[in-house]
Amino acid sequence: MKTISLKTISEKGISLIKLSTAAILAMNMIGCTVEADYTDVADRNDVATFGDSIFDLNGVIQTELEASAGETFRDYTTSGAKMSGGSLAPAVDEQYASANAVNPDITTIVMNGGGNDILIPALTFDQYRCKTTWYRKNLSDKCKNLIHDIYVTGVNLLDQMDADGVESIVYLGYYELPRGKTNLNQAVNYGDLYLGDACEVGTTANCTFVDPRGTIPASDVESDDIHPTVNGSVTLAGQIWPVLEPLL
């Protein structure tokens, strides 16, 4: 019979505490919530937004775009959302399925996604080695493979949107992270490369990629080194709007 010593119990307890602490830290950093607060009815029910906390946490991108348009859009963005899967929040593909179930007449989409697929693991145990360090100066193959998988998932989702009759998609990429998160910027750059390719080359959908890199200074990023401030969100909305306006 296997015996378990007090030391083993203690070590397991410490590991559980570390795991719980890491998970709580990650949840706080990504601004996540397990509750989805969707807007199913709007002035323009054919226009919908999907994505993660870059859109959802302060809500300013949505309100800025609606103010520019002079009308409201359906909103399914959820903090903590991954591109697909995950237990913290409804993923982007789940958001889209929910919107379609309510009203499938969606012609124009504004979205982002894929960032949390990298960020959430990186903020816990970095099992994909997406952080660069003094001893690992370049992005690991495991992280590259993760991003390749996100690319495939993204293309499949965009293709499904196209097959469902969506006419136009505006896809917002990710900006570089400042201060304590600069060690994730190789992953950000590699991810944006593939997200841009998924949007404008890999999919059958009519998709335009908005690349915000180089436009969001550290002063426009919150102290968590991830989310945009109000000014940052206004800047992001200002980059989306010239692409979205002719589609409305």
Among 67, 32, 34, 74, which Cα is nearest to 52's?
32
pLDDT in tens, 205-244: 999 999 999 999 999 999 999 999 999 999 999 999 999 9
Residue 74 amino acid letter: R
pLDDT in tens, 175-200: 999 999 999 999 999 999 999 999 99
pLDDT in tens, 107-138: 999 999 999 999 999 999 999 999 999 999 99
CA–CA dist 58, 61 (Å, integer): 8
CA–CA dist 67, 12 (Å, integer): 53
Classify the C-alpha dihedral 97-104-174-147 as positive or negative. positive
Among 151, 246, 244, which Cα is nearest to 193's?
151
CA–CA dist 234, 122 (Å, integer): 27
What does residue 32 show for φ and ψ, rounded to 5 degrees?
A: -85, 160
